[in-house]
């Protein structure tokens, strides 16, 4: 993985992809986590959406490595798996969780706190996707999601949302609007810089600020 240069301006995304800073090993993940803390907490907002244009670019890997790095810094962190069609965060974290998740919370079947997987890792909790059902994804666009997110922002210092790719769902845009900030992920030899620039422009149009981009592969 590679970490692109940081900046808030959407037109700069292509340049950041062409000039990666460093491999996203432990040092780069730690750098990324420090940047997230500095940029979000200093602005009084602690929600971040991690998103990509297509499947397979490393969004879930980036999100899970980021939350682990944040937890190592003694930051109470929640990871929300908002990909109700193809959830993967739990498998990436090797978390065995058979309980309810985001879908059940949005349907009002369980309380937010009841659905949290505390994982056993210090400072890290996960809200798994749960069992979506036929209307699961649609509920992300409801008031219930916004209310759930507000609860998470009050309880945890930083909430990171693993969003589904934009080419099969508009969920990423809604979630990014709700969190206020997003981190874009692309993969070398698969993603196109122009697609990321368009993606960043679309995020900005819905009211989300692009904190930066990560190049994987």
Find the helix or strand (DSSP H, E) in which 116 lies. none
Q: Output the pLDDT for position 215.
A: 80
Q: Output the pLDDT for position 136.
A: 65
User: Is 211 in contact with 37 (CB distance < 8 Å)?
Assistant: no
List per-residue pLDDT tens for the chain, 217 residues long. Answer: 344 433 333 334 333 433 333 335 677 787 888 888 887 776 677 899 999 988 888 899 999 999 999 998 888 999 999 998 887 776 666 666 678 899 999 999 999 999 999 877 889 999 999 887 767 678 889 899 999 999 999 999 999 999 999 888 899 999 999 999 999 988 876 666 777 888 899 999 999 999 888 887 7
Q: Which residues contact 121 (CB under 8 A, 6 or more apart)?
A: 68, 71
135 vs 20: CA distance, rounded Å: 39
CA atoms in the 13 A half-sphere facing the CB of 208: 26
Q: Output the pLDDT for position 48.
A: 95
Q: Return the number of other C-beta atoms located less than 10 Å from residue 167's C-beta.
A: 12
- CATH number of the domain that 35 lies in? 3.40.50.300
What the block records as the tokens of 87 is 């959830």
Q: Which residues contact 91 (CB under 8 A, 6 or more apart)?
A: none
The number of folded domains in the chain is 1
Q: Output the pLDDT for position 160.
A: 96
60 vs 107: CA distance, rounded Å: 24
Q: Which long-range contacts (C-beta less than 8 Å, at least 24 apart) are formed by 39-42?
A: 39/6, 39/181, 39/211, 40/158, 40/181, 40/211, 41/157, 41/158
User: Is 84 in contact with 137 (CB distance < 8 Å)?
Assistant: yes
Range of the domain at 31: 2-216
Q: Return the number of other C-beta atoms located less than 10 Å from residue 151's C-beta.
A: 15
197-216 residue pLDDT tens: 888 999 999 999 998 888 87
Q: Output the pLDDT for position 94.
A: 61
Q: Output the pLDDT for position 17.
A: 34
Residue 127, beta-bridge partner list? 80
Find the helix or strand (DSSP H, E) in which 81 lies. strand 77-81
Question: Residue for token digits 């970490």?
Answer: 3
110-127 residue pLDDT tens: 999 999 998 778 899 999
The angle at the Cα of 208, spanning 86 to 137, to the nearest 5 degrees, equals 25
Q: Output the pLDDT for position 6.
A: 35
Q: Output the pLDDT for position 20.
A: 35
141 vs 49: CA distance, rounded Å: 15
């Amino acid at each position: 993985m590679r970490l692109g240069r940081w900046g808030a301006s959407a037109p700069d995304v292509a340049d950041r992809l062409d000039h990666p800073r460093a491999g996203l090993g432990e040092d780069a993940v730690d750098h990324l986590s420090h940047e997230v803390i500095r940029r979000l907490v200093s602005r009084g907002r602690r929600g971040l959406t991690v998103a990509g244009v297509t499947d397979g670019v490393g969004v879930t890997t980036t999100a899970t490595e980021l939350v682990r790095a944040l937890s190592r810094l003694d930051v109470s962190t929640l990871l929300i798996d908002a990909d109700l069609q193809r959830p993967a965060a739990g498998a990436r974290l090797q978390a065995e969780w058979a309980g309810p998740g985001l879908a059940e919370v949005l349907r009002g079947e369980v309380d937010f706190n009841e659905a949290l997987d505390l994982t056993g890792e210090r400072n890290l909790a996960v809200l798994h996707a749960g069992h979506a059902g036929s209307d699961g994804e649609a509920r992300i666009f409801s008031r219930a999601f916004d209310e759930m997110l507000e609860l998470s922002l009050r309880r945890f210092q930083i909430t990171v949302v693993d969003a589904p790719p934009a080419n099969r769902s508009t969920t990423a845009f809604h979630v990014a609007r709700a969190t206020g900030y997003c981190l874009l992920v692309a993969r070398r030899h698969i993603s196109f810089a122009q697609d990321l620039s368009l993606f960043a422009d679309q995020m900005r149009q819905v009211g989300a600020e692009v904190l930066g981009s990560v190049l994987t592969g």
